[in-house]
Structure 1
C-alpha cells in the first residue's frame, strides 16, 4: 500500500509539472501563430497510450514516463525532422518567426515552472503556515545515529550552535546549511567544540546507506503491543510513554537499546506515563533486548511534555504572498548551491546525483497534501533550473543560440544546430544514465 501511495504522488506531481511546462511553450507558440504539431505527456516511442487530434495539434499520452514535449513546426528539436527542415520555411513555422518571439516561446516552459513554484509556496503559506523547532528548546541536543557523522566526531546529545561560523536559531537552519557546511560548532557537556567536515563530506554521505543526519530526540511512545510476541496481553495503551526500566530513567528513544540490553531474557518493571498518571507494568525482554512494542509519534504530546518547542507562523491571505517570496528565494538559492557542489568534483557530491528513483524516494509513504505540494514546488524549481542549463537539446541551449543571434545579428546555420542538437542529446542521455545508474548502484550496495 505504501508503494501505491508513493507512486501515485510521484506520477501526479511529475504529470502536473510536465503538462504545465509544455503548456508554457504551447501558449506563446499559439499566440505568435506558430504551428504546434504535437503536445505529449510522456514520450510516445513507437506508440501512444492515447492520442487525439484537435485542430492542427495531436494531443497524447506516451508510454515512457521520462518527460514530455511539444513538437513545434520548423524547429530543430529532439524529433530531428530533417524532411520538414529541408523544405522552404513556411510563415507558420518556428524558424520563420522573429528572434524575440522564438526566445519567448523557448523561455515559456521554465517561466511557468518558476511561477508555479511561487504560486504553490503562496498556497502552502496560507494553508499550512510555517513550523520550526528552536535550537534552544532542544535541551539535550540531537540524536546522532548517522555513522558518518559519528566517525567525524559528533555524538548524541551534541547541541549545534553554529554552521560555518554562523549562529543557527532553528532546526531548519541546520538542515538547510548541510549542503555548504564545512564546520560545525557544537556544545558538549558545557564546552564548545569545533567539528571540521572533509571536503568530500557530501560524497562520503552519498556513498553510505541512507540515514538521518540530525534527529529530534523524543521519548518511546507506545503505538501497539505486538500480539505475537512476549508481552501479548500487557495492559498498555497507545500514547503511553516509557519513563524508566527498573527505576533507571529512559528519557529518550535513543537510550532504549543500550538500556534494555542488560536485561535480555529477563522480566523488568517499566514505568509509563499515561495522561498525567504514572503506571507500572512488568515486561519481558527478548533475547535480543527488545520489548516487542511498536513505537508511535505525537509532536503535540512531545511538545506538551517539554521535549522541544514548536514555533508556528500563520499567514493572512495578503501575508502569504510575502511568505511565498521567502520560500521561493530560499529554495532557488538552495538548489543553485546544490548544483555548485555537484559540479565541483572535489566535493564528491556528484555521487549523490539521483534519477527517477531518487525523486520517487522523497515522497512520503502516507498521503500528505502538504508534503506533496512542497515537493512539487521544489521539483518545479529543479525542472526550471535544469532546463536553463546551456546544453543543446534543453531549453537553455536553444536560448543560448537565440541570444547569440540577437547580439550578433547572425543566425547559426541549420546544419550547425542539427549537430549541436545531436551532441546535446547524447550529453543528456549520458546524464540520465549516470543519475539513474547511481540509483541502481545504491540499491545494490546499500
Structure 2
C-alpha cells in the first residue's frame, strides 16, 4: 500500500480513538450529574452527517469533516451558539443550572481522559515492549560535536557521562535535553581518558534553535550503509547494504555525519558518491529527494541496551515517561513564538508524518500516546471555544461568586472560534507550503 494511505489510515484511526475518548470525558460526568447531552459526534457534521442515530435524549453520529468532535450539552454556550435555547429560562437538566463544581468537572473531563490515556498507553508499551537505551559504555566512540560546542570545550569522540551532576541514562537524549531542559553542566569523557565538567550557557536551547543547530551531538558512526529505503533515490541509483562511502563530491568521508551534511547541503544538485563494495570502487551520481536525503541508514557501531519492566515498574516508568513528554512539549512551546518556530508549525500533514510509512503497532501506539498528551495541553489553553476557556470562566465564577455575563461569554466564544480557525488555517497552510516548495 502507498505510504501516504498507510499514514492517513493510522492518523484517522488514532484521532478517532482519541476524540471519542476525549468526548466521553465530558459525556460521562455530564450524565452522572443528570445533565442532558443532545449530541455526541465523532468529527463535525456541518450541514449533514455520515451516520446518526438517536438513543434516548442523545443523538450519536459521525460527521464528514475530520477536524475533531464534540458533545452538545444543553444550556451551555459552545460552538453551536444556540441563542434560542439560552434565551429561555434555565431547566434543571441544563449545564447552566448545575453547581459550579459539577460544571468544572464536566469541562475538565476531556483533558483528564487524554492525560490518563497517554500515561496508560506508555505504561502498556513499556510493559509489553520494554525500552531501549544507549549508555556511555555501549557507545565507546562517542559523539561528533558541532563546531559551536567545541568552543565550549567539547571534543569529537566525547562520551556523555552526567548532565547537571546526574548520571545520564540514555546518551542519545542529549540533544533533546539541551533544547528543552535546563542544562547547566555536562560531564564528558574525552578520548584521551580525561573527564571534564563543562558549563553550558543558560540560553543554549534558544541559541541553538535560532541557529538551526538541533543536533549538536551526533553519534560517531562509520560511513557504511546498513539500510537502503525502497523506492528511494539510493535504491534507484543502485546503492546496496554494506557499501562503504569513501568520497562525497570529491571530499574524503570518514564518518556518517560528514556524508549526511554534504548531502543536505547539495541544494538540489546531484551528489557524487564514491563507494567501496567488496574491494571494488564504484561511482554514483544521485539526486536527493525533496527533503535533501537519498534514503540510506548507517550500520551502527554501538550497542543498544534493552530493558524489560514488571507491571509495577511499567506503571511508575510509564507515568514518568508521560510526564516528561508533557513537560518537553510545554517547554518547546516557547519556540513557536519565534520567527523560526512559526514556520515549523504544522497541521494534519505534520501530525500524519509522525506515523511510519509501514504499519507498526509499537510506533502507532507511541504516536497515539504523544498526540493524546498534545490534545490535553492544547485543550486546556485559556482560549475561548476550548475547554480551557470554559474553565477560566468557571474559575472566575467560583472566585467572584457570580456568573460571567452571557453576552460576554457569547462574544468570547465567537472570538475564540475565529482564533482557532485562523490557527488551523495557518498550521495546515504551512503543511501545504512545505509540500509545494520543500
Indicate the TM-score class for this superposition, using the shorter chain for normalisation.
Answer: 0.7 to 0.9
Residue 38 of structure 1 is matched in structure 2 by 39
CA deviation string 1:371-423 (max 9, x = no partner): 11111111111111111111111111111111111222101122121111112
SS at match of 1:33: coil
SS at match of 1:285: strand
- In the TM superposition, 1:43-442 aligns within 5 A as 43-142=44-143, 157=156, 159=158, 161=160, 168-177=168-177, 178-180=179-181, 197=204, 199-205=206-212, 215-219=218-222, 220-221=224-225, 240=242, 242=244, 252-254=255-257, 270=276, 280-286=278-284, 302=300, 307-339=301-333, 341-342=334-335, 345=337, 348-442=340-434
Using the TM superposition, give the Cα deviation of residue 166 of structure 1 relative to its aligned residue in structure 2, in angstroms. Answer: 5.8
- 8 A contact 1:77–1:421 mirrored in 2: yes
Partners of 2:96 and 2:388 lie apart in 1 by 17
- 8 A contact 2:155–2:190 mirrored in 1: no
- 8 A contact 1:204–1:348 mirrored in 2: no
- 8 A contact 1:163–1:183 mirrored in 2: no
* Unmatched 5+ stretches in structure 1: 272-279
* TM-score for the superposition, normalised by structure 1: 0.77
Name the CA shift for 1:408/1:310 in 2 (closer, same or farther; >3 Å): same
- 8 A contact 1:201–1:347 mirrored in 2: no
Name the CA shift for 1:53/1:134 in 2 (closer, same or farther; >3 Å): same
SS at match of 2:180: coil
Using the TM superposition, give the Cα deviation of residue 96 of structure 1 relative to its aligned residue in structure 2, in angstroms. Answer: 1.2
Partners of 1:166 and 1:108 lie apart in 2 by 39
Name the CA shift for 1:441/1:189 in 2 (closer, same or farther; >3 Å): farther
Partners of 1:101 and 1:428 lie apart in 2 by 26
SS at match of 2:59: strand
Bigger-Rg structure (1/2): 1
- 8 A contact 2:157–2:220 mirrored in 1: no
Name the CA shift for 1:204/1:431 in 2 (closer, same or farther; >3 Å): farther
Using the TM superposition, give the Cα deviation of residue 444 of structure 1 relative to its aligned residue in structure 2, in angstroms. Answer: 4.0
* TM-score for the superposition, normalised by structure 2: 0.78
CA deviation string 1:94-153 (max 9, x = no partner): 111111111111111011111101111110110111111114533333467xxxx66887
SS at match of 1:48: strand
Q: CA RMSD in A?
A: 3.9
Residue 265 of structure 2 is matched in structure 1 by none
Partners of 1:198 and 1:243 lie apart in 2 by 33
The worse-fitting range, judged by mean Cα deviation, of 165-174 and 85-94 is 165-174
* Unmatched 5+ stretches in structure 2: 263-271, 289-293
- 8 A contact 1:132–1:310 mirrored in 2: yes
Name the CA shift for 1:254/1:335 in 2 (closer, same or farther; >3 Å): closer
Partners of 1:328 and 1:110 lie apart in 2 by 14
Partners of 1:381 and 1:422 lie apart in 2 by 26
Residue 3 in structure 1 maps to residue 10 in structure 2: no
